[in-house]
Chain A
């Protein structure tokens, strides 16, 4: 009897060992596989309100991955992408993300927008699937730190503080007014910026918060004009900022020194919509290099080869893909979600992209960009003047 039990137990143990070995050799783990193509899921607005910007961003992302594949991929493993349109809708992004989870992707990348990520993170976090570098300033991506979520775009409030610090240091402290589009975090942005102006030796005169869909910006511009400020700080969507600047032109108002803005307006679409005279007074921050300075970079060449225009969104798409492939290469041939995450956490001042400043992550900080570029305008285009640390 005992011998039979031992024999049966031995058979069971052998069977279990065979099963475990079989699982290991097939290479299937939660969040990616250790052999075969490296599969990445992309949920991105290809249609809808922001499709015109996010579509090219996605094409630039895929173009970089194709470029890497042509060079042999990641240690011989091809990068494949599954791109699904979410039309800038959180619900569709959730559906897409569930699909990626069931497909066993290694990571979810290439998102464009600030509405979708907060809906995607709760699906990916419990499964520890990396969610990498969405093009949207969303605080919940990196505060509090989620083990699997990494960001490259500082919040607009932090960018404005950096922009104020740089401008006051290089153009002189002065008086400032601020105009904002009403958003849930607008009060925090106003407080941060006000404090920055005062700390830098300036005087914060007034702030105006404009509801979305405002039909006439004249009252706000007339009030700003009456204060004769040295600086006007723009904390708005690019469309509203362009409208304000156009009304400033009609009202013959310009600040004594500069307009100051964040990466929300460091786009060629904004520049092309405003009066050229005021455009030359613009100082704006950006997480990526200016297009005119990026033409000779690897990304510049890959973007042009893909038949795309080199601009802010395409540089983001390609540059973030560069950071991803740099991490995949370092993680090694048997890259998994876990190894990708731990690789990123180990980075200090890594030159992972020729479009972004050096990137630093740690287990307690998943916002990788510690500096932003400062842009000016020359010959109807943004150009890179300097770099400035990200505040906060």
Chain B
């Protein structure tokens, strides 16, 4: 029983990291209409930037702070350079661009940083933990949960209490109408990319110390993140975190009690079951079209 509880706690922590990757997918989908498959590799590239700053002699936390700013700038440049030009060519066109971006970022990371990868990224969270009865809980897991809930709460507050949040909500619900009402959609899309760039870096910083920093470190999480987004609902920003928790806990329990080779399969079983039974996800809104 104590093993099961430990696995569930670890699964929640892992699930929230998946959720934050999925959050990037969903947030960009809602604000730009296109799910960006390059979110994971944006996180990877930005984490390499932080690593290079740290290797250059800047302390790890100042490197993280600088990296946050650079991450936002980097994501903005990605939007302006790869997605903004000719953005009226349709969502399929933009989707394919994100796939190309995924490959390009991987290749660039291999060229600039990859010669001796993987790298040992400094530990940002404590290694210690505590026991609650027979269950051992790692501080790293609890802090991860806290960070991601704080990020989710910050976004929820932004949407609820700020003008920018209101405009982002309008764009995510109906971009053409929002544009007619004077909302500057492209400017908000750029802002969305800046915010996702910073959030993606948080995901990278949580993953790199465990997975080692390498150009493919986010690949497993991208698949899980996609599953989390579908399970939670592609139109629900809060739902993706719940979807991530569901995916994280289920895959960890499957790994522990059934077999590791079924972990990824179980995530996709969840995805397919969701699409079959509740296509808009646990918290997503069904799309209704007026005929």
Contacts and interface: CB of A to CB of B under 8 A. Distances in A.
A210 B260 contact: yes
A208 B212 CA distance: 21
A219 B256 contact: yes
Interface in A238-260: 239, 242-243, 246-247, 249-252
Given A219-B255, A273-B212, A239 B118 contact: yes
B149 interface: no
Nearest to A210: B260
Interface residues of B, number: 40
B144 to A, nearest CB: 10
Interface string B1-37: 0110011001100100000000000000000000000
Interface residues of A, number: 33
Interface stretch (B51-59, B86-94, B187-195, B213-221): B213-221
A215 interface: yes
B120 interface: yes
Given A215-B221, A220-B260, A222-B10, A250 B127 contact: yes
B267 to A, nearest CB: 10
A147 B220 CA distance: 43
Contacts of A208: 260
B120 A222 contact: no
Contacts of A280: none
Interface in B75-90: none
Given A214-B260, A214-B263, A226-B3, A219 B116 contact: no
A246 B209 contact: yes
A235 to B, nearest CB: 14
A338 interface: no
A242 B260 contact: no
Contacts of B264: 211
A250 B3 contact: no
B117 A52 contact: yes
A252 B136 contact: yes
A208 B138 CA distance: 22
Given A52-B116, A223-B256, A252-B129, A213 B138 contact: no
Interface of A: 51-52, 182, 208-211, 213-220, 222-223, 225-226, 239, 242-243, 246-247, 249-252, 269, 272-275
14 contacts: A52-B116, A214-B260, A216-B14, A218-B10, A218-B11, A219-B10, A219-B252, A219-B260, A246-B212, A250-B138, A252-B129, A252-B138, A272-B120, A273-B119
